Amino acid sequence: MGTSRGTSIAGLGMTELGRVYGRSPRRLAADAVRLAAADAGLALGDLDGLLVSHGMGGSPGIELAGTLGLRDLRLLSQVNAFGATAGAMVSYAASAVLSGTATTVACVFADAPLKPKQSAGSAYNRDAREWYGFGGMTAALGLRSVNSYYALAAQRHMARYGTTSEQLGAIAVATREWASRNPLAQMRDPITLADHQNSRWVSEPLHLLDCCLVSNGAIAVIVTSDDRARDLARPPVHLWGWGQGHPGHRKERGSEFGLTTGAASSGATAMKMAGITPSDVDVCELYDCYTYTVLVSLEDYGFCAKGEGGAFAASGALGPGGSLPTNTGGGQLSAYYMWGMTPLSEAVIQARGDGGERQAPSSDVILVSGNGGILDHHSTLIVSPHRKGA
Amino acid sequence: MEIGVLRRDGRTDPFFDGTASDRLVIKRCEACDRWFAPDAAGCPECGEEDLGWAQASGAATLVTWTVLPKDPPAFLALVELAEGPWLHARLDGAARADLREGLPLGVAFEHPDEGESYILFRPWTE
């Protein structure tokens, strides 16, 4: 067998996720890297690269290398593209392996925004008696939560294309149906469309069941060459393609805010590299901070026409038994919110065939998305249990 | 919903000087003939970092909106000023039935007892 120029994910490490208290984000990150290395059958000393990312708390950073006792690293950096970071980290790790910069790179995300006895929603909310400057005025007047910014985006899509709350609800219901089959999911009780419609408004047009969870925990993956991955403990999850898209929509006349996202360009880049089209994709693991994010990503990736994401979701395509199994672990809406590591971790599980009751009928080509800011940043990965072109 | 007290941050003083005297003052790049929000960091066309300030008409249209479940409900929005920039804003005097893309709006100035004056947007009526 000759050598190839491909890269793979060889290890996956996941700490307990959800209301997990008593461990700092740095400690959680260290635990996830250890778990990922063990999963791959590697010793920590086999790692020669580490890429680190964090949530809103600002930790961990590159000091994680010291925490883990890693020595003589050839690649060490903090990466931040908000919710697009996981896909970006994996692509940088793969590029480093292909260039010879490093051979075996751990990529980790950790966050612990939840505190004991605190509601999940309040973990990200802003409140104050005094506000400063023009930006402070915007917050003072009521725009204090990311929920409201995504609500503005979703409402624009609804007004322009006739997208409905019930269509968003179809995404919430399908995602929960997947979660009910995932022992790792935080929310496993099935929901109906009526449950979605009756859940309280967070910021119209978004109901509570349109919004993701908040979770503590950490997830890491190990990226290495196909040739090395082949000799490790678990079947390689091959990286076929990657891309990013940062549309830079200006807040001014003519802006496409809320209508199109960076999924369009990042998806095109990743699919071209992978040599596939949307019709080749068996499973989607999409960044679902909100149901609406799934809907607009499906359109921008080309799984349906622009403006038809609502009808596509309502057709039943996304749930178990559907034509495009999407967020098969329950996503961020129902399973766990580890930013871009939520869709990536489930993609690895599906590619390995480890999905148990939720294993998709076919998982030869899996698309993974990341979305950051208010639809400002996007990343895409195409992964497969098979070598590209094999 | 409690709006709280607004203070200056030293970077947008002309905006608050304007609201105090019922004028909407935003940033403008004279060279490019383009208008920007009061917190714009520079002109993305020519790179000018020291944008000037100029008075906008106060006419706007509704781009998109969200309603917060408060008592009474808070109507929040993205509005497009006649000069082109979008502002995150709060609507006053709007009903759900009014809300549509392109709804004409006009700026209104509020002068609280404490803190800086601020702006709201109201459905435009002749």
- Mean pLDDT rounded to a whole number for chain A: 96
- pLDDT score at A19: 93
Q: Is the pTM of this model over 0.95?
A: yes
Q: What number of CA atoms fall less than 13 Å from residue B62's CA on the CB side?
A: 29
- Percentage of residues in chain A with pLDDT exceeding 70? 98
Please give the torsion angle defined by the CA atoms of residues A282, A284, A285 and A287, in that order, rounded to the nearest 10 degrees: 170
**Chain B residues 21-60 with a CB less than 8 Å from chain A:** 36-39, 44
* Contact criterion met (CB < 8 Å) for A132 and B8: yes
Q: What is the rounded radius of gyration, in angstroms, for the C-alpha atoms of chain B?
A: 15
Q: Which whole number is the average pLDDT over A353-360? A: 98
Q: How many residues does chain B have?
A: 126
* Contact criterion met (CB < 8 Å) for A130 and B12: no
pLDDT of A215 strictly over 90:
yes
pLDDT of A1 strictly over 70:
no
Instruction: Please answer whether residues A345 and A335 qualify as being in contact, where contact means their C-beta atoms are separated by less than 8 angstroms.
Output: no
| pLDDT band at residue A389 using 50, 70 and 90 as cut-offs | confident
Query: Which residues in chain B have Cβ-Cβ distances shorter than 8 Å to A206?
Result: 66
Q: Which whole number is the average pLDDT over A164-193? A: 98
Residues of A designated catalytic: 287, 337
Instruction: Please answer whether residues B105 and B61 qualify as being in contact, where contact means their C-beta atoms are separated by less than 8 angstroms.
Output: yes
Q: Which whole number is the average pLDDT over B23-46? A: 95
Q: Which whole number is the average pLDDT over A249-257? A: 95
Q: Which whole number is the average pLDDT over A264-286? A: 98
pLDDT of A2 strictly over 60:
no
Measured on CA atoms in the order A353, A358, A361, A362, is the torsion positive or negative? negative
Nearest CA in chain B to A130: B5
Picking from A23, A4, A47, the residue whose alpha carbon sits closest to that of residue A220 is A47
| pLDDT band at residue A136 using 50, 70 and 90 as cut-offs | very high
3-state secondary structure (DSSP) of residue B68: strand
- pLDDT score at A4: 62
Decide if B118 touches A, using CB distance below 8 A: yes
| pLDDT band at residue A121 using 50, 70 and 90 as cut-offs | confident
Interface test mutation site (partner A, options B8, B36, B45, B64, max chain A beta carbons within 10 A): B64
- How far apart are the two ends of chain B, measured CA to CA in Å? 29
**What is chain A's percent helix, strand, coil content, to nearest 5?**
35, 20, 45
* DSSP E strand stretches across B8-117: 25-29, 34-36, 52-55, 59-68, 74-81, 86-90, 104-110
Decide if A129 touches B, using CB distance below 8 A: yes
pLDDT of A30 strictly over 70:
yes
- pLDDT score at A122: 72
pLDDT of B43 strictly over 60:
yes
Q: Which whole number is the average pLDDT over A81-93? A: 98
Alpha helices in B1-126 (DSSP H): 13-20
**Strand (E) or helix (H) holding A308:** none
Listed in sequence order, the residues at least 6 apart from B37 whose beta carbon sits closer than 8 Å to its beta carbon are A134, A251, B26, B27, B85, B86, B87
Q: Which whole number is the average pLDDT over A377-390? A: 94
Decide if A257 touches B, using CB distance below 8 A: yes
Q: Which whole number is the average pLDDT over A378-390? A: 94
Q: Which whole number is the average pLDDT over A112-125? A: 81
